[in-house]
Structure 1
Amino acid sequence: MFTECQDITVHATSFAHQGGPVFYASLPGDGETGTGCGASRAVDQKRLVTALCNHVGAMDNPRWLYRHLFDRATSPIQVAHGPLGSPQLWLGAVRGPAVSFSEGGGKIWAALCGDGSDIGIDVAADGEFQGNYPLHRVFHDQELHHAGRLTGGDLAKAAALLWSIKEAVVKALGCAFHLVAPRQVHVFPSRGGGWGYTFPVRLLGKALMRYPLGGHRSIWVRSYPLEGMWLSIALVHGQSQ
């Protein structure tokens, strides 16, 4: 699904197993890496969130818990950050839905869901995992095997796919890799067909102790191949705060 919002195209992805849909969009960033100075990045993030909020607010969907707040005249949009750096969306004086950002491929990306689920978005480029990258320090053999089947045996592409999934998951948990190690996020083989893949994800070890919900496969990730990179969006439904 694609919806033009001024000069920003809003995309939608659905999670058949729970929650959603999630809406996401991107803008060109400054420089080849897609990262600019703090001020310009903040402006781009706010533009993206505004487009996403306008889109969600215009939808007639009873599941959108925040739809009545998506009025910029009475609820100005602000993006703040939590103690671990995770973004927080405020609509006026009210905490808004979960929002997530990523940078890569010369773009800044944002994702938002209005049904109360927590989300994370990440993009990872194949080139980041070339050469002597220590794959087995961050990925399990089983993960590399089934991801490799999706990438024609290209380990760099498989690693980029897995990294984008793991990064999206820890962003959805709100902790990034501050409290959860990469190998504590286990990616299971994909399900479904069509464009993109759906992955069930489970937490292991100390991560499972911190986030018990992750032991029941209540974390799902949608991943899409882009040119030389992967885009992944994680959805955590009913997470305990």
Structure 2
Amino acid sequence: MTMEQGRIVEQDRPGPGAANPPDLGGSKWVLCSPHREPAFLASCSAAPRPRRGPGRGFSSRQMERELLASLLKEHSRAGGIQELALSRNPLGKPYLWLEGLPGPPISFSRSAGRLWAALGTPRSWLGLDAASPEEFAGSYPFKRVFQETEWQAATSLTRGDREEAGALLWSVKEAVVKARGCGYHFFGPRRIHLEFAGLGEHGPCWRGHLETPVPDLVDPGSQGIIPAASVRLHEVWLSVAWMTVAPGEALAPVG
């Protein structure tokens, strides 16, 4: 497979800074934070998850493991490890275990018929989200979901395309709450404030801030700014957020 660095090389239809790297036939990329911290990404085609039935989730878990194994092989000294396991805490945050020990931070997302996986470094918790513009067509309540300043920034980046702007902002907001480890369990997307931080090597960069402190039952971590970066790939907006882990804080679930 070919590695593509996610760098802007040509202008895409949605607008300046919303560029697609050329698809060279591969399914792996690197997306870096505004502070140059990498997230290694992989994706594969994925059928919709069945809502019920004994087989629900099995193929998804297998695909998640296979994507992570491929990323570890290329980007980690743990690539030769045989035992790879996944777990999730009560809020759904995923954890990677290698030979029974905590592994690097991970995150997953599904959109537009693809499963995405992200592998980070021990410096930060990671949040990944992919969102398709098709999810925001019709009478979507944009003004009830997004703040005015962030909406103006997103529509400027996407040349006024509301569906593109909605997908972009949603992917960033969900990446931020995934990095924080709580998802949307305690508050809605409008209470996550985004500030456009300029165009990076890959596309738009952002600063995310949670309006409300996260309850104590969530793993400890920064309550401040969470940086994020976005890129448009495979018909979706893909965003990654990084929350720096304080010295001494574990990446593995507590308790």
By the TM > 0.5 criterion, same fold? yes
1:70, CA displacement in angstroms?
A: 4.3
CA distance in 1: counterparts of 2:121 and 2:79, whole angstroms: 10
Relative contact order (alpha carbons < 8 A, sep ≥ 6): 1 or 2 greater?
2
What corresponds to 2:46 in structure 1? 29
What corresponds to 1:3 in structure 2? 3
What corresponds to 1:46 in structure 2? 65
2:203 to 186, 191, 196: 196
TM-score scaled by length of structure 2: 0.78
- Equivalent runs, 1:1-241 vs 2, <5 Å: 2-3=2-3, 9-17=27-35, 20-30=37-47, 34-35=48-49, 37-57=56-76, 67=77, 69-73=78-82, 76-207=83-214, 213-215=222-224, 217=225, 219-238=226-245
Where structure 1 has 5 or more consecutive residues not aligned to the other structure, the ranges are: 58-66
Amino acid at match of 2:43: S
SS state of the match for residue 103, structure 1? strand
Cα deviations by residue, 1:73-125 (Å, 9 ceiling, x for unpaired): 4xx10011111111111112111111100011211000011233111111111
1:177, CA displacement in angstroms?
A: 0.3
Where structure 2 has 5 or more consecutive residues not aligned to the other structure, the ranges are: 5-24, 51-55, 251-255
CA distance in 2: counterparts of 1:230 and 1:109, whole angstroms: 12
SS state of the match for residue 110, structure 2? strand
CA distance in 1: counterparts of 2:163 and 2:66, whole angstroms: 33
CA distance in 1: counterparts of 2:63 and 2:173, whole angstroms: 25
Amino acid at match of 2:3: T
Segment of structure 1 superposing worse, 191-200 or 107-116: 191-200
CA distance in 2: counterparts of 1:139 and 1:83, whole angstroms: 27
On the 8 A contact 1:8/1:48 being kept in 2, the answer is no
- Taking only the aligned residue pairs, the percentage that are identical comes to 35
CA distance in 1: counterparts of 2:233 and 2:28, whole angstroms: 16
Q: What RMSD over aligned residues (CA atoms) do the two structures have, in Å?
A: 2.6
On the 8 A contact 1:8/1:26 being kept in 2, the answer is no
CA distance in 2: counterparts of 1:193 and 1:3, whole angstroms: 19
1:3, CA displacement in angstroms?
A: 3.2
On the 8 A contact 2:196/2:204 being kept in 1, the answer is no
Select the structure that is richer in helix. Answer: 1
TM-score scaled by length of structure 1: 0.82
